[in-house]
Each structure stands twice: as C-alpha cells, then as structure tokens.
Amino acid sequence: MKKSLNNEVIKLTVLLLLFPFLMYVFLSSDPIYSIILWVILLFLPVLITRFIKKRILRPLKTLTEETKRIATGDLSHEMIVENNDEIGNLIKAFDQLRSELAQKSLEQKNFERSREDFVASITHDLKTPLGIDRCCN
C-alpha cells in the first residue's frame, strides 16, 4: 500500500479538529480526564515534531546533501529512498537524473578520448609524409 504524505496530513488535521471537542468532553467530566488531556497535550507536540522530522525534514536533508555532492561533480553515489510518498518520488526522480548525468558524463569522456586519439592519428599521418619528403630531397 502506497503511503501518501496527504494521508498523514489528513490524519493530523482530523486529530487537530477533534481536539477542541475532546477538550470540552474531558474538562467538563472527571478530573482523571483532565489529567489524560494534559498528558495528550504534552505528547502531541512531540509526536508532530517526530512526524515532521521523519517524513519531511530527513528526506529533504538527504536530498540537499546529494545535491551538493552532485554540484561538486560526484555522480557515483546512489540515493536511497526510504519513503514511498511524494518526497520519496522526488528523491527517485532526482536519483534518475543523477544516473542519467553520470551516463552522459561517461559518454562525453569516451567521446573526448576518441577525439584526442583521432587528432593524434591525423597529426601523425600529416607529419610522417613530410618527414619522408624532407629525407629524400
């Protein structure tokens, strides 16, 4: 099953929309419900922060590091995709771009090597008959 960042945001939104109702129910009832509510209030920011860090910030940090590595010319490092959501798809597309750039760079190096060999061969062929002509006259 494909996880979607939208689904996670929807769950969080529903929880936050239900929160005022839960506060009303808990605060108007037993004191034990008030304690439960305060425990929820204490842990909710922690859970939200962990969600944002795990699902959004960590993959974006990885993508930023890989972008810097590519900018320096290192195309050999493959990116590992942990999530199968929108950010994971972005990382997959970026890794495909990196792979294509690495392949094109290799093709460019091979072409440049072939061109240098061709120029060296032509230069040698042009110099050789002139050397023979000088020798015989």
Q: What mean pLDDT is predicted for residues 111-126? A: 88
**CB atoms inside a 10 Å sphere around CB 98:** 20
At residue 63, what is the residue type? L
Q: 30-81, pLDDT tens digit by residue? A: 777 667 777 777 787 778 878 878 888 888 888 899 989 988 988 888 888 8
Model confidence band, residue 1 (pLDDT cutoffs 50, 70, 90): very low
Q: How far apart are CA 10 and CA 35, in angstroms?
A: 27
Q: What mean pLDDT is predicted for residues 111-137? A: 77
Query: Does the pLDDT of residue 136 top 70, yes or no?
Result: no
Query: Does the pLDDT of residue 99 top 80, yes or no?
Result: yes
DSSP 29: S
Q: Sort residue 79 into left (φ over 0), alpha (ψ -120 to 50) or beta.
A: beta
Q: What's this model's pTM, rounded to 2 decimal places?
A: 0.59
State both tokens at 68.
């810097």
Q: How far apart are CA 3 and CA 54, in angstroms?
A: 14
Q: What is the mean pLDDT of the chain?
A: 79
